[in-house]
Structure 1
Amino acid sequence: MRTLLNIIWLVLSGFWLFLGYAAAALVMFILIVTIPWGIAAWRIGVYSLWPFGKTIVDKPNAGVWSVLGNIIWVILAGWWLALAHITSAIALAITIIGIPFAWANLKMVPVALLPLGKDIVDQP
């Protein structure tokens, strides 16, 4: 079931969201100082390709630097990636079949806004 959901997700919104995260990662890698944010953007972009069967958890050892990094991330790229998830969720929620995918998009908004201090793990 997860595989089927992931395939439908990939076609409907996963690929386009991945492109947004990849663009953010590329910009962050080019600016050199922002490479940690580029790594986070790439990690979440790969997660946005195939999200079913994975979950996001807080890292227990994330500290003040994650908070400061997240503030910078929201200013640089987080707000427009979160907006992309919200826009995609609204478009998917129009149909009955798209509702689970809209919900998955909305669950990804917090990590799009605040990616540092989070970890992506497989669900049991």
Structure 2
Amino acid sequence: MDEVESAIAWHTQLPVELYTAIGRVAHSTALLDAMLGEFIEELADSHMVWPLVSGQSTDWLIQTCRLFLSEADPQGAHYPEDFHDEIQRCLASIFHRAVDRGCSASLSGLCR
């Protein structure tokens, strides 16, 4: 097992595989956050919300998606009811996976 010295880890020796795994998780999280932000833009019907969503935590983005879905289309006029249900299931799945990874202590208040 190869090891690399890292200033980030205060000059401790960490396995290269660990850095690779951290990189995959960081990339997946960044991609998820970007997708959630784009979904909020779609629900808000405006690209002007990007400064608001940019840099927010995953739990904030999930919560905001849930809020926008219920507030932007509460009667299902724009999106069909089965779309609402599927999106809520997807957001719940994202939430549970994030909690399993220990992404954020504030995620515990999201699941209803």
Scaled to the shorter chain, the TM-score interval is: 0.3 to 0.5
Q: Which has the higher contact order (CA 8 A, sep 6+)?
A: 1
Higher Rg: 2
Give the structure-2-normalised TM-score: 0.38
Give the structure-1-normalised TM-score: 0.36
